[in-house]
Amino acid sequence: MQHPVLFEMVVFGGAVVATLVWHLGVGRQQDARRLAALKAARLAAAGPAPDAPAAPAAAAPAALSAPAVVAPSGVAAAVAAPAAPAVVVATTSPPTTTDPETQRGDDLHRPRRNDMALKNILVHLDSGPRTAERLALAVRIAARNQARLTGVFGQLAEAHRVGVVAEWPPAAYAAAAAESREAFSKTAGSLADAEWVDLNRGGEDEIMHRLGQLACYSDLTVLGQHEDAARRLAPAELATHVCSASGRPVLVVPYAGRFPDVGRRPMFAWSETAGAARALADGLALTSPDAEALLLYAYERNLRSEFAERAVALLKSHGVTAQFEPFALEDETMMDVLLNFASDHGADLMTLGLTGSVGLSLFDRGRPKPTLRELTVPVLCAC
């Protein structure tokens, strides 16, 4: 058992010795010759030294005209040709650099695309009377941003049962889906890129799950506000679920009123929370360049943050001028505060940060939590 180990040690020692001999002997000599040749080439390319006598004037034309001479023999041509390009490259072609650091430095000064641009928009469709309102709004936003629009049809339905056999889809669902597809084609026909998708599910959990999955692939999801008095076509907590499940911004369109566009008079509900910060950042993509914005900062008395007004500077850096409105809470409910400021401002858009799946992070301080069902203007929510 000792012979293989001894053999390996001998082989390893021989490799080490050979490496040392190469680097200290033949290899070192070859490295020295290569360095000398490289130095000579650099000196030749740089030209004569400043105090060296200039070359005769006749020498340059002879060198430059060498490629045009037709040599009588192949050997003469092979010898004469290499000399001429060396002179031409050294005197007329400036060296180019492909240094990655230099390239990276140049990129810092180039204009960049808008990272907040909306290029993929999803809108939820059903057979309800408010679908046309939110579809028209989604088409307008997509057209303004040259975005792809995906219309997703999905509504609550039960499979048709004959005895113990269930058939899907039922006739009513299939008819509603066909009408939705036709209406989507007419309304979104002016867009360059539009697609209609059928969730092909009727259960509440399945609709929320599948729509949440699709929302992951969109920059903005447009949903309708739940109305208790209306026939249930979509899950009541669809908006909050899609927002929390996808991590993408959700624009909730109220079940009453007309909203042909958003972003001219936005109201940013601000708090120093992750949800509010994301909602503000996402709302910039919907805000018009000439918008008249309001930044509402509601806080518990004696708990005002000294940094809150910096949100105005944040908006200003993105080209949005906003009026700062601090409000100390006493006996008011947060819903009253939101609705009053939105009404006084004439807001056509509100941004809110959501907490979990039920509450609003701005108001999570022991007060009753308003829900998205009570708001009367389009709300951009983020989790």
The candidate with the shortest Cα–Cα distance to 260, out of 150, 144, 355, is 144
What band does 302 get if pLDDT is binned at 50, 70 and 90? confident
- Token pair, residue 53, equals 């006598």
Answer with the residue of higher pLDDT: 41 or 302. Answer: 302
Our separate counts of H helices and E strands in the chain read: 13, 13
Lowest mean pLDDT among 274-283, 328-337, 349-358: 349-358
- Tell how far CA 67 is from the center of its chain: 55
Domain range annotation of the chain: 115-159+166-256, 262-383
Average pLDDT of the chain is 79
Distance, in Å, from the CA atom of 353 to the CA atom of 325, rounded to the nearest integer, reads 18
Question: Do the Cβ atoms of 125 and 177 come closer than 8 Å?
Answer: no
3-state SS track over 157-178: CCCEEECCEEECCCHHHHHHHH
- Token pair, residue 326, equals 């601090």
The set of residues, in sequence order, having a beta carbon less than 8 Å from that of 137 and lying 6+ positions away, is: 222, 253, 259, 260, 261, 262, 378
pLDDT at 369: 64
Distance, in Å, from the CA atom of 225 to the CA atom of 352, rounded to the nearest integer, reads 15
Q: Provide the b/e sequence for 224-236 (b: ≥16 CB within 10 Å).
A: bbbbeeeeebbbe
Per-residue model confidence as pLDDT tens digits over 78-87: 433 344 433 3
- DSSP reduced 3-state for 4: helix
The candidate with the shortest Cα–Cα distance to 252, out of 265, 238, 264, is 238
How do strand 220-224 and strand 120-125 relate by DSSP bridges?
Answer: parallel
Q: What is the pTM for the complete model shown?
A: 0.69
- DSSP reduced 3-state for 253: strand
pLDDT at 351: 95
The candidate with the shortest Cα–Cα distance to 308, out of 321, 294, 325, is 325
Per-residue model confidence as pLDDT tens digits over 179-224: 999 999 999 999 999 999 999 999 999 999 999 999 999 999 999 9
262-383 and 115-159+166-256 share a CATH fold? yes
Lowest mean pLDDT among 11-25, 41-55, 202-216, 292-306: 41-55
CATH architecture of the domain 115-159+166-256 equals: 3-Layer(aba) Sandwich (3.40)
For domain 262-383, give its CATH number from 3.40.50.300, 1.10.3720.10, 3.40.50.620, 3.65.10.10.
Answer: 3.40.50.620
351 φ/ψ angles, rounded to the nearest 5 degrees: -110, 135
Question: For the CA atoms of the chain, what is the radius of gyration?
Answer: 36
